[in-house]
Chains A and B, each alone.
Chain A
Amino acid sequence: MAFLHISGLRKRYGALEILKGIDIELDKGGFLVLVGPSGCGKSTLLNTIAGLETITEGDIKVDERSIAELHPSKRDIAMVFQSYALYPNMTVAGNIAFGMEMRGVPADERKLAIDKVAKVLQIGHLLDRKPSQLSGGQRQRVAMGRALVRDPKLFLFDEPLSNLDAKLRVDMRTEIKRLHQTTGKTIVYVTHDQIEAMTLATKIAVMKEGIVQQFGTPAEIYNNPANMFVADFMGSPAMNLLSGRITREPNGLAVALERAGGEAIRLPVAAAMSSLAPYENREVVFGIRPEALTDPEGADRHAQFLCENDCLIDVVEPAGSDTFAVTKLGGREVVARLRADARIRAGEMARLAFNLDKAVFFDPQTQARIA
C-alpha cells in the first residue's frame, strides 16, 4: 500500500470545480512533483493535503490513515510556502521553534532541535537575525529549516524556488534534491517549472484544468507523453508537434510531412506501431523532440529507425552547448538540436537525421496518444 494515497479527490467552490477527481499514489520516500500551468489546481491540491482547504469528495491517506478531516497541525506535515512566510516579528530561531512552542516542547529540547537543523542548513550564524535582515536564499533556508525541525511524515513545498533569481534557484534545487536523498523523506512539491519537475521528481503528476493528465516517472512523462498537452508542456525547447498524413508505402506505413523548399518527406513508421493502421490516409500529429532531430554526425547510432532528409534552415540559434536550428515541416516551425560545431547556415539546405524510435503520434481531434 502506498504511503500517500489520494483517491477520487474533488474540490468545488460553489458551482466551480477546481479538482475533478484526483487519484495519486506515492511510495514512502518518494518525491512527487505536481506540475502544470497556472490555474491547473496544483496548489489547491497541495493545500488540501496540508488541510488548509477542505475537500468536497474523496479521501487522502498518509501511512494508511485518513487525514482528510484532521486540522493542519495534526496531520504530521510540514510546509514550505512560496513567499517563505517567515514571521517578521520573530528571529530566525523563533521562527524555527514556533511550531514546537505551540506543541509545548520544552525550551531546552527546542534549543537542541534548532541547533541540529541550523547545522544541516548552515544557518547557525543567522539564528538571532530577523527575516528582514536575510537575503532571499537565506530566507529560503530558514523556511526549509522550519519544516525540517518538525521531522514530519510528509513535506509539502509550494513553488519554493519561484522567488529566487536564476542562479540561486539552480543551487537550491540541488540542495533540495540532496536533502531528499539524505533524509529519505516523502515530499510533495508544486511547481510550474518543468525542469524542476524533471530534475527533482521520482514521480510527476502533470495537471491541467483540475485533472491529472499523466502520472508517472520523469522518464515516462518525457518519453511517452499520454497526450499532446503533456508532450508540449514537458521539455525545453518543447516537443515539435507537426501535422502529417499516414500513407502506405511498399515496405509498410509512413508519415508524410510537407517540407519547405522541396516535396513532402516520407518517414517510415516503426513496425511496432500497428495502432497507426486505422489512420491510413488520415491526418495525425507527429511529435518529435528537438534532440531526436539532429545533424547526421550527432545522431544516436543505436537508433533502429534513423532517416535522413534535407531541410531548409530558417534560423540558426547557437546556445553554446548545442546549436538550435529552425526549419519548416508540416506547416509548423520545427526546432532541431544539433551539435555545437555542426556546420549549418540560415537560408541553406541542411541534412537532418530523424530518430524515429523516439517519434510519437497523436490524434488531432482527441489530442490523445495513438502510438
Chain B
Amino acid sequence: MSAAALSHGQNNRWIGRIAIYGLLILFAILYLMPLFVMLVTSFKTMDEIQNGNMLSLPQAPTIDPWLKAWGETCVGLTCAGIKGYFWNSLKMVVPAVAISTILGALNGYVLTKWRFPGHTLVFGLMLFACFIPFQSVLLPMATILGSLGRLGVTLQDQVGLSFGLGNPTVNLVIVHVIYGLGFTTLFFRNYYEAFPNELVRAAQVDGASFFQIFRRIMLPNSLPIIVVTVIYQFTNIWNDFLFASAYAGSGESMPMTVALNNVVNTSTGVVEYNVNMAAAMIAAMPTLLVYIVAGRYFVRGLMAGAVKG
C-alpha cells in the first residue's frame, strides 16, 4: 500500500470519528439542556428570571428558592413546603421496593430451581402483568382497595387493629407491589435461569432447606440483579403519578409527585419559577442518588469461581 493511500485511509477514519463524537455531543447537550435550565433557574432570583436570559448563569446565586420549596411553598391550601410529601413518598417507596424485590426473587427462585408442572404457564401469566397498561387497572384496583378499606374498618372494630388497611400510603404500597411483581419476577427468573443448578443440588445434599438455600446461596449471589431491580422499581414507583393521584391524590398522605403538581399548578399570585424548579429538583433527587450510589454495584463476574469459567 502506498503512503498516500495510507494517509487517505487515516483521514477517512478521522472524519468518521469526528462525525460520531460530534453527534454524541450534540445529543448529550440536547438531553442535558432542560436539566441545566432547571438547575440555573432554581438558583436565580425572580427579578433575574423575568429580565434575563433563560440560559445565562445566575448573577447572584441564592439558595432561597430551595429553602422555600422545602419548607414554605404552598401545596394546595397548606403552605408548609414539600418536605412532608417527600417523606410520604419515601415511606411508600422503601417498603414497596423491598417487598416487590424479595417476592420477585422468591418467584424467580421457584420458577427456575423448584419447577412444577405448568411453571411456564404461571410465568407467562406473570409476564402478562408487565404488558397491562396502568390506566386499565385503575378502576378495578380502586374497587379492591375500597373493599380492603372496609375490611380495615371491620378489623379495627373487632380486633382493634386495622393492619394499615385503608391507609392511602399502605394502599399505594400494595398497588406498587402487585404491579411491580411481574417485572421483578421477570428479572430474577432470567437471572436464576443461568444460575448453576449444581449449586442448589450441592446445598440440598448438604441439608439446606428451601429457604436456607434461598437466603444463603441464591441471594448472596444475586447482587447485580438486585441492584438492577431496585433501581428499576425505585425509579418507577417514585416517579409514578397516576396511581399516586388516583389513590392518594389529596390530603396529608399525598406523595411527592402529586404535591409537586399542586405546587406548580397553584394559580395565586406570580408564578415562582425558581421555587418550582427547586421543588422539581428535590423531587428528582432520590432517583438520581439511587443511580449514582447503586450504579457502582453494577458489577459483573460475581459468579466467577462457582463453576469452571
The chain A residues found within 8 Å of chain B, CB to CB, are 50-52, 71-73, 77-79, 81-89, 98-99, 102-103, 130-134, 136, 139, 146, 163
Contacts and interface: CB of A to CB of B under 8 A. Distances in A.
20 contacts: A51-B204, A52-B205, A72-B204, A73-B204, A73-B205, A73-B207, A79-B202, A79-B205, A81-B202, A83-B306, A85-B307, A86-B305, A87-B216, A87-B217, A88-B305, A88-B306, A98-B206, A131-B305, A132-B306, A146-B202
Interface in B176-219: 196, 198-199, 201-208, 212, 216-217
Nearest to B206: A99
Contacts of B196: 83, 85
Nearest to A75: B205
Contacts of B307: 83-85
B141 interface: no
B308 A102 contact: no
A132 B304 contact: yes
A50 B208 contact: no
Contacts of B306: 83, 85-88, 131-132
Contact of A83 (B198, B208, B220): B198
Interface residues of B, number: 24
Interface string B211-231: 010001100110000000000
B305 to A, nearest CB: 3
B302 interface: yes
A77 to B, nearest CB: 7
Interface in B248-289: none
Contact of B302 (A50, A81, A88): A88
A99 B305 contact: no
A133 B202 CA distance: 20
B137 interface: no
B303 interface: yes
B205 A50 contact: yes
The listed residue with most B CB atoms (<10 A of its CB), out of A77, A85, A99, is A85
A77 B199 CA distance: 16
Nearest to B217: A87
Nearest to B302: A88
A52 B203 CA distance: 11
Given A71-B204, A87-B217, A163-B308, 17 more contacts: A72-B205, A72-B207, A79-B205, A85-B201, A85-B306, A85-B307, A87-B199, A88-B303, A98-B206, A99-B205, A102-B206, A102-B208, A130-B305, A131-B306, A133-B305, A136-B308, A139-B308
B109 to A, nearest CB: 15
B198 A82 contact: yes
A81 B207 contact: no
B2 to A, nearest CB: 48
Nearest to B220: A89
Contacts of B204: 51-52, 71-73
B304 A88 contact: yes
Nearest to A79: B205
A271 to B, nearest CB: 54
A77 B205 CA distance: 8
A71 B213 CA distance: 15
Nearest to B304: A132
Contacts of B212: 102
Contacts of B220: 89
